A and B are shown apart, each in its own frame.
Chain A
Amino acid sequence: MIIAKSLNKIYKNGTLENHVLKDIDVEIQKGEFVAIIGKSGAGKSTLLYQLSLLDHPSSGEIIIDDVAIQKLSSTERTFFRLTNLGYVFQDYALLPELTAAENIMVPLLMQGYSRSKAHSNALKALMDVDLAGKDNSLPSQLSGGEKQRVAIARAIAHSPKILFADEPTANLDSKTSETVLDTFKKLHKDGQTIVMITHESDYAKKAQRIITIDDGKIVKRGKK
C-alpha cells in the first residue's frame, strides 16, 4: 500500500521556484491498477518519480507498506527499489549490450539470485510477456513493442510489490500499445499493483482507477 501525504515538489532555479506538486495526498491499495493522467506539464511524471523513490519530494511523506521512505538512506532507498519496486520506462531503457534475458537477469543477480536461477526466472518472465524464444536477442534486434515487453519482464521478474510505468506506450503504435496494456491487465489480474502514467485517456481506462492531475494538484480521483 502506498500512502503519500502533503507531497510537495519545488524545483529551484536561482531565485525562481517552480512548484510542480502541491500538497498531494494519495493512497494506492495493494493489487490496484491506477492510471495517473493529466496534460503535459501537469506534474504526473513528477508524482510518479516521488512515489517510485526516483526523486525526493521537497516536503511531505511517503509510506510504502508501512516503511517511511524519508527515513531511508540513499543505499537503503536503492535496495528498497531493487527488492520492492519495478519500473517500466517510456523508452524501454534496456541496456543495449545485454540480451533480453541478460537485461532481466541484472536486478536478479543484484538481489543475490544464482546465475541459473536468475536465468530461469528471466526465461519465465519473458514467457509471461509472450516473448519466449527471444531471450538471446539484443535490444537492437527487437521491435519497439518487444523491447517494452522485455522491460516489463525485467520489472516483474523479481515479483515486485508495485510496478511503476512511466508512459509505457508513448513510443508505440496503437496496436503495440494495446498489447502492452493487455500485458498490464494480465499482471493486474494476477494481483500485481500497478501505477501507470499516461496522457491517453483511452489507455487510462484499462486501469482500475484513474487519478487526474492538473497544475500540480489532484483534480479528480475515482473509478474509470
Chain B
Amino acid sequence: MNSFRVGLFLAIRQIRRNNFWTTLLIVFIMTLTFLNLVFVTGILVGLVEGSSYAYRTQYSGDVLISDLPEKSFIQHSSTLLSMVSQFPEVEAYTSRYLAPAVIEANYRNLVRPSDVPDQVSAMITGIDPSHEDQVTRLSTLVIEGEYLNPTDEGYVLIGSDLLKQYSRGPGTGEGTLENVAVGDRVRILLGNFQKEVRVKGIVKSKIQEVSMRVYFVDSELRKLLGRNDYNVDEIALKLYPGQSPQKVVQALTNQEQDKNALIRDWEQSQGTFFTDIKTTFTMLGNSIGAVALAVAAITIFIVIFINAVTRKKFIGILKGIGISGAAIEISYVMQSFFYALVGSTIGTTILYGFLEPFFRKNPINFPFSDGILSAPWEGTVVRVLVLLLTTLVAGYLPARMIVKKNTLDSILGR
C-alpha cells in the first residue's frame, strides 16, 4: 500500500514537472497509435458495413419477405400485407412484383436480320412509388429525370448499371444498353408480351439489386403479368428505430407465414458473404492493429527505458534511502498509464468528434460501397483496454530492469 502511495506520489510529480514538449510528443505518439488501432480496422470493416447499410436502407429494409424457392410468388400476399400493416413495429412497407425480362434499346434502327439488337437482361420490378419511397427512399437515388408517380403509365425508372454511360465495368451484368437517356424509348420483352415505355428517370446505387432493375408502377406491371390475385414477389419492411427485426420475423413465423414466403431479417437476407468478408476484414484490421500495438509498446518501452536509464542514479538513491523497488516500478507504470490514457482519450475524442461523423458525411467512394468508418463503442473500449494493458507492461519492463540493478552501482553510475 505504501509502495503504491509513493509510486503515485512520484509519478504525479514526474509527469507534472516533466518537460512539456516531451510529454506532448509521447501523448501525440500514443494518440496516433490509438487512432491507427481503430482507424485501419474501422475503414476495412466500414467498407463492408457501408455496403451492408446501403443494402438495408436502399433495398431490403429491416425485414425482407420473398417468395419461396419452389414458388413463383408469395402466396396469400394480401393477407400477409394486411398482417404486417397491423404490426406496431412496422413503420412502412413496400411490395414488389418481379419478372425477368429483356430490355431493348435500338429496336427501331434494326434494318437487316444481321443487325445486332441492343439488349440487356434485367429484373422488371413493379412498385407502389410512394410505399417504395417510404421504405427505401428510392426517389433520392434518381440521378437523372424524375421519380415515378403512382399514375404513371408507360414510364419506367432504369437502373444505372444497365446503361453503358454509368456502367462500372466488367462483372456488373450481362451487358449494358448504349445511348439510352431520360426521355428515350425502350422496349420491354416479357415472355410473349412486349411493351414500349419511356425512360422517366435513372436510378443509381451501388447495390446491384437496385441498380440492375427496371421499375414500373405496380398496377401497370400487374396487368402485364396478369397477376390478378395481387400476389407479389417481394415485401420489404421498415421498422421504427429500435425495433427488433428478429422479433418481427419470429412473429410472422409464429403465424405460419413462413409456409407462404421466405422471411428473413436484413442480415440473413444478405447471406453469409457480408458476414464472412466482415470477419475477414476484421481479422486483417486486427493484424495491422497488432503491429500498431507492438509499435506503441516499443515506443513506450524506449521512452520509459531512456527515462529510467537517465535517472538510474536517482533510482539508486531512492532504493538507497529505503524506497522499495515496487514503489519505483509503480511510478513508471503510472507514467505509462498516464500517457496511454491521455493518448486514448484524445484519440477517442478525435474519433467520435471528428473522424466518424466526417466519414459518415463524406463516405469513401469505393466501387462496391460507400465506405464509412466503423467504430463501435464496444470495440473501441476493448482497444483502449488493450492499449492500456500493453503500455503498462511496456512501462513496467524497463523500470524493472533498472530497479533490479545493484543499488550502489546505480548510485555510483556504474
Which positions in A face B, CB cutoff 8 Å?
49, 54-55, 75, 78-83, 85-87, 89, 93, 95-98, 102, 105-107, 109-112, 138, 154-155
Find the B residue at minimum CB distance from A102: B13
Question: Is B86 positioned at the interface, with any CB of A under 8 Å from its CB?
Answer: no
A97 B322 Cβ-Cβ under 8 A: no
Q: Is B321 an interface residue (CB 8 A)?
A: yes
Binds A, one of B4-12, B213-221, B279-287: B4-12
The reply to whether A110 and B323 contact each other, CB–CB distance below 8 Å, is yes
User: CA separation between A195 and B234, bound complex, in Å?
Assistant: 96
A81 and B321 contacting across the interface, CB-CB below 8 Å: yes
Known: A54-B407, A54-B411, A97-B18. A106 touches B320 (CB 8 A): no
A166 to chain B, nearest CB (A): 9
Does B87 sit at the interface, judged by CB under 8 A?
no
CB of B252 closer than 8 Å to a CB of A:
no
Could you give 8 example pairs across A and B, Cβ below 8 Å? A78-B324, A89-B317, A93-B314, A93-B317, A97-B14, A97-B18, A109-B5, A110-B327
| Chain A residues within 8 Å of B324, by CB | 75, 78-79, 110
Q: Which of A97, A112, A138 contacts B2 (CB 8 A)?
A: A112
**Is B6 touching A106 in the complex (CB atoms < 8 A)?**
yes
Q: Does B408 contact A (CB under 8 A)?
A: yes
Determine whether the beta carbon of B314 is less than 8 Å from that of A154. no
Residues of A within 8 A of B320 (CB): 54, 81, 87, 89, 93
> Are A110 and B6 closer than 8 Å at their CB atoms?
yes
How many chain B residues sit at the interface, stated as a range, is: 20 to 34
| Interchain nearest-CB distance for A129 vs B (Å) | 16
CB contacts (< 8 Å) of B16 on chain A: these are: 97
A-B CB proximity, top 8 nearest: A82-B322, A97-B17, A81-B322, A93-B317, A55-B408, A54-B408, A110-B6, A109-B6
Counting chain A CB atoms within 10 Å of each CB, which of B14, B18, B320, B327 scores highest? B320
A-contacting residues, B323-379, CB 8 Å: 323-325, 327
Which chain A residues lie closer than 8 Å to B9 at the CB level? 102, 105-106, 109
Q: Roughly how many angstroms separate A80 CA and B324 CA in the complex, as a whole number?
A: 11
- Kindly list chain B residues whose C-beta atoms are within 8 Å of the C-beta of A107: 321-323
**Measured between C-beta atoms, what is the minimum distance from A40 to chain B in Å?**
15
Q: Which partner residue on chain A sits nearest B324 by CB separation? A: A78
Q: Which residues of B contact A55 (CB under 8 A)?
A: 407-408
Q: Chain A nearest CB: distance from B8 CB in Å?
A: 10
Bound CA–CA A80/B18 (angstroms):
31
In this complex, what residue of A is CB-closest to B1? A112
Please state if B318 and A111 are interface contacts (CB–CB under 8 Å).
Answer: no
Interface check B264, CB cutoff 8 A: no
Q: Which residues of B contact A78 (CB under 8 A)?
A: 319, 322-325
Contact B18 A82 (CB under 8 A): no
Residues in chain B near residue A79, CB distance under 8 A: 322, 324
